[in-house]
Amino acid sequence: MSSALVISTLVSVALAASPGVPALDAGALTLRLDEPWTPGMPAVALEPARLDLEAAPPAIDLGGVEDHARASSLKAWGRTLRWSTAASLVVTSTLGTFAAINQPTAFGDGRCITGNPILGGDYGCNHGLSTLHGSAAVLSVTLYTANAVLGLAAPISRGTVPEAARPVYRVLTWVHLGGIIVQPALGLIAAYPQVIGKSNTAPTDSLPRNLRTVHVFIGWITTAAFLTTTILEN
């Protein structure tokens, strides 16, 4: 009962301290703890505050957002590398064709001998054009290798090939892979037969003439195969 009196006193003091609120007599307040509850009396259930974790809003899945951004970035890099490689192969094959037109092949002695060489006699015949073609070939092999490594390390960077075109895609992939492997060797031997011990071979001899012809044809087959697989990867 002493607790009831203390509570009544505190309530009176609080009300007295509030401006505009008349003071209440502490004796007029009665706290009945023993009065039983009867039907019709309002009942107030007091419960401690509760944090409902299930009702909380779902957390943002940052991992899913990051994975989507990473996948998009890898796909963009793969697409860029594929088309850059295709463009470089086209340039390399074009320059190689110009060089072959100037040099002896299975189709003739070349314009450096017959006259009117492509890009002029000074540049087209004195290793200028051949050096440019070789530089483009190095770039093509570098881009091709980077594209292959990215495809193996992150398969998601590859494009999606239609089901019906996959057999053709697989065959063409092996075609341009084989071309990329053999082309550097063919081009080097055709330009410098000395690397295989043919020190006395002239540019008009059958070995460099035939190798140069094969080199040009394989170059265009490799380029066409890679360009087709790039188009199929949408």
- pLDDT digits 0-9 by tens, 48-89: 455 454 555 565 555 566 777 888 888 999 999 999 999 999
| Host H or E run for residue 186 | helix 166-191
Q: Round to whole Å and give the CA distance between 158 and 79.
A: 8
For residue 9, the model assigns a pLDDT of 54
174 contact partners, CB below 8 Å, separation of at least 6: none
User: Cβ(156)–Cβ(122) under 8 Å?
Assistant: no
Q: Cβ atoms within 10 A of the Cβ of 195, count?
A: 11
Nearest CA-CA partner of 225 in 108, 100, 54, 93:
93
Regarding pTM above 0.85, the answer is no
For residue 46, the model assigns a pLDDT of 47
Q: Cβ atoms within 10 A of the Cβ of 120, count?
A: 13
- Show the low-confidence residues of the chain (pLDDT under 50): 4, 6, 11, 13-15, 21, 23-24, 26, 29, 45-46, 48, 51, 53
Beta bridge partners of 105: 108
Reading the block at residue 51, the tokens are: 């944090």
